Chains A and B, each alone.
Chain A
Amino acid sequence: GDSVTQMEGPVTLSEEAFLTINCTYTATGYPSLFWYVQYPGEGLQLLLKATKADDKGSNKGFEATYRKETTSFHLEKGSVQVSDSAVYFCALSDRNTGNQFYFGTGTSLTVIP
């Protein structure tokens, strides 16, 4: 079945460092891919999404490119801020292979000044 695997955390970075959070997926069809962010004490917020191969999603300085050849959707940001400290979830949905929305286990990011 479909699934999402993302890198284990926690990740600790200094302010202005480069961020990469790896996400790979398994899907038999052509899924849509998402990154969600959860700040402490809050629900999940959609950060960005991509619906087909080679699409790049971007928002608030974060980017992720849908790579079908490597089945990946890695999250990147060139210069992180303390306010980016949160838990990041990779997710996929594929209506063609089942009406499901799959989430990764989440990666906790802490940015220190």
Chain B
Amino acid sequence: KAGVTQTPRYLIKTRGQQVTLSCSPISGHRSVSWYQQTPGQGLQFLFEYFSETQRNKGNFPGRFSGRQFSNSRSEMNVSTLELGDSALYLCASSLEWLTDTQYFGPGTRLTVL
């Protein structure tokens, strides 16, 4: 069974731009979560989607948004990029619940200049 895939793997943007990241979960997994990983803050939960609806949300500003499609694929969007948004963005999928075992993708490395 194929694992979680994320595209693109690397992105370079400038301040003020917006960016969209994509995640394809493991086949049959319906819950998709997004995390931001930085050296200073570690792993921080952004949000979780299930059945095309945001079910859980972390403490991030509204510039961070996401969506999920009927095939469980998910996208994450960051608008008006700031230097501090530079991070590794990880997507994880699980069967039904955020509390089920999370399976992670390789991440998208975003650099904001």
Residues of A bordering B, CB below 8 Å: 32, 34, 36, 42-46, 49, 89, 91, 93-95, 99-101, 103, 105-106
A45 to chain B: which residues have CB within 8 Å?
Answer: 104
Q: Are A100 and B101 in contact (CB under 8 A)?
A: no
Contacts known (A89-B43, A93-B98, A95-B97); A101 close to B33, Cβ less than 8 A: yes
For A44, what are the chain B residues with a Cβ–Cβ distance below 8 Å? 90, 92, 102, 104
B33 — nearest CB in chain A belongs to which residue?
A101
List the A residue with the shortest CB-CB distance to B90.
A43
In the complex, A32→B94 CA distance in Å?
A: 14
Task: Choose one: A42, A46, A106; the contact of B42 (CB below 8 Å).
Answer: A106
20 contacts between A and B (CB under 8 A): A32-B101, A34-B101, A43-B6, A43-B106, A43-B107, A44-B102, A45-B104, A89-B43, A93-B100, A94-B99, A95-B97, A95-B99, A99-B97, A99-B98, A101-B33, A101-B98, A103-B42, A105-B42, A106-B42, A106-B43
Known: A42-B106, A42-B107, A103-B42. A49 touches B101 (CB 8 A): yes
Q: Check if B80 is an interface residue, CB within 8 A of chain A.
A: no
**Assuming the A-B contacts A32-B99, A93-B98, are A101 and B45 also in contact, with contact meaning beta carbons closer than 8 angstroms in the complex?**
yes
Q: Does chain A have a CB within 8 A of B17? A: no
Chain B residues in the interface with A (C-beta under 8 A): 4, 6, 33, 42-43, 45, 48, 55-56, 90, 92, 97-107
Expressed in whole angstroms, the Cα–Cα distance for A103 and B92 within the complex equals 13
Q: What is the minimal beta-carbon distance from B40 to any residue of chain A, in angstroms? A: 11
Q: Least Cβ distance of B38 to chain A in Å? A: 12
Contacts of B48 in A (CB 8 A): 99
B110 CB → nearest A CB, Å: 14
Residues from chain A with a CB closer than 8 A to the CB of B101 are 32, 34, 46, 49
